[in-house]
């Protein structure tokens, strides 16, 4: 019994020290600004994480704009769910499907240019708290949009506006500019075992 009590006291003291360190570290952080976040990497969940952030913003009563650069206009669970906040959410699906489906570079470039026109308007709006640029990294990877223009427009956005960019192969210049970069690592994927895309999981 005494040994268990001693262990409990050691744990309590360890957690007290940890709390002091944590509280000091949190107190040192005083900057408040709009963040540029990038979700990239070969693993699943980049867009899902971005839409989770959108849900958090909507839950706080803040306005969100989603611009999808590649994905076509198929019905997805996240769009259906988030559109319940239709007074705060604007959703623009501007892509025509993945590049291997269209097989038409000029058409893909034109679609991405139209999408960036919509994104630029959102990036100029003081009332928009979060802009989700879904699969923008793919558009940049294939040079469907000029990277310099994208970086300039991101830099010129309102000071407190947050942006999250998704897609594999984020360009190094975007990673360098970003405040937060998360790389999704593929460890195992059910698709490799022959499991098809399923409602509520992939869409």
Q: Are residues 21 and 54 in the same domain?
A: no
H-state helical runs in the chain: 2-28, 46-59, 77-82, 99-102, 105-123, 136-141, 147-155, 172-177
Q: What is the mean pLDDT of residues 8-19?
A: 89
Same domain membership, residue 70 and residue 3: no
Residue 11: inside a domain, yes or no?
yes
Segment 86-91 mean pLDDT:
96
Provide the edge-to-edge strand list for the sheet that holds 128-134. 89-93, 63-68, 128-134, 162-166, 36-40, 180-183
Q: What are phi and psi of 40, to 5 degrees?
A: -140, -175
Distance CA 37, CA 47 (A): 12
Shared domain for 63 and 109, answered yes or no, is yes
Average pLDDT over residues 15-38: 90
Going by their DSSP bridges, the two strands 63-68 and 36-40 should be labelled as unpaired
Residue span of the structural domain in which 9 resides: 1-30
Asked which of 6-10, 52-56, 94-98, 178-182 is least confident by mean pLDDT, the reply is 94-98
* 17, 90: one domain: no
Domain count for the chain, please give it.
2
Enter the tokens of residue 198.
């399923």
Average pLDDT of the residues of the chain? 91
1 vs 5, 13, 15, 163, 196, CA distance in Å? 6, 19, 21, 54, 54
Q: What does the alpha-carbon distance between residue 76 and residue 53 come to, in Å, rounded to a whole number? A: 17
Is 201 part of any domain?
A: no
CATH code of residue 149: 3.40.50.300
Answer yes or no: do 43 and 143 share one domain.
yes
Same domain, 174 and 75: yes
What's the rounded mean pLDDT across residues 19-27? Answer: 87
Six-digit token string for 27:
């107190």
Query: How confident is the model at residue 98, as a pLDDT?
Result: 54
Cα separation of 43 and 19, whole Å? 33
Residue 69 lies in a domain: yes
Q: Tell me: do 4 and 88 sit in the same domain.
A: no
The percent of residues above 90 in pLDDT, for the chain, comes to 68
| Residues 49 and 19 both lie in one domain | no
Whether the CB-CB separation of 62 and 130 falls below 8 Å is answered with yes
Tens-place pLDDT, residues 107-130: 889 999 999 999 999 999 999 999
Residue 199 within a domain: no
Residue 202 maps to a domain: no
pLDDT (0 to 100) of residue 24: 87
More confident site: 28 or 126: 126
200: in domain? no
* Domain co-membership, 51 together with 93: yes
Q: Kindly state whether residues 16 and 109 are assigned to the same domain.
A: no
132: in domain: yes
Under 8 Å between Cβ of 186 and 44: yes
Q: Give yes or no: residues 105 and 74 share one domain.
A: yes
136 located within any domain:
yes
Distances (CA, A) of 144 to 33, 95, 109: 29, 12, 5
Query: Does residue 101 have a pLDDT over 90?
Result: no
Average pLDDT value for residue range 58-84: 89
Asked if 71 and 7 sit in the same domain, the reply is: no
| pLDDT(154) > 70 | yes
69 falls in which pLDDT band (50, 70, 90)?
A: very high
Q: Kindly indicate the confidence band of residue 152, based on its pLDDT and cuts at 50, 70 and 90.
A: very high
């Amino acid at each position: 019994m005494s040994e268990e009590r001693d262990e409990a006291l050691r744990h309590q003291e360890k957690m007290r020290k940890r709390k002091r360190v944590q509280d000091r570290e949190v107190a040192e952080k005083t900057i408040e600004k709009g963040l540029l976040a990038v979700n990239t990497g070969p693993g699943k969940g980049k867009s899902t994480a971005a839409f989770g952030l959108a849900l958090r913003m909507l839950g706080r009563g803040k306005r969100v704009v989603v611009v999808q650069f590649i994905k076509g206009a198929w019905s997805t669970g996240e769009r259906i769910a988030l559109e319940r906040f239709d007074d705060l959410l604007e959703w623009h699906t501007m892509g025509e499907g993945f590049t291997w489906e269209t097989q038409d570079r000029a058409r893909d470039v034109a679609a991405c240019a139209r999408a960036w026109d919509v994104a630029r308007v959102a990036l100029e709006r003081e009332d928009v708290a979060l802009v989700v640029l879904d699969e923008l990294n793919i558009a940049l990877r294939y040079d469907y949009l000029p990277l310099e223009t994208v970086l300039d427009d991101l830099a010129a956005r309102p000071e407190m506006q947050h942006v999250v960019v998704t897609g594999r192969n984020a360009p190094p210049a975007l990673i360098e500019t970003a405040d937060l970069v998360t790389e999704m690592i593929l460890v195992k994927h059910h698709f490799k075992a022959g499991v098809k895309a399923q409602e509520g999981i992939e869409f």
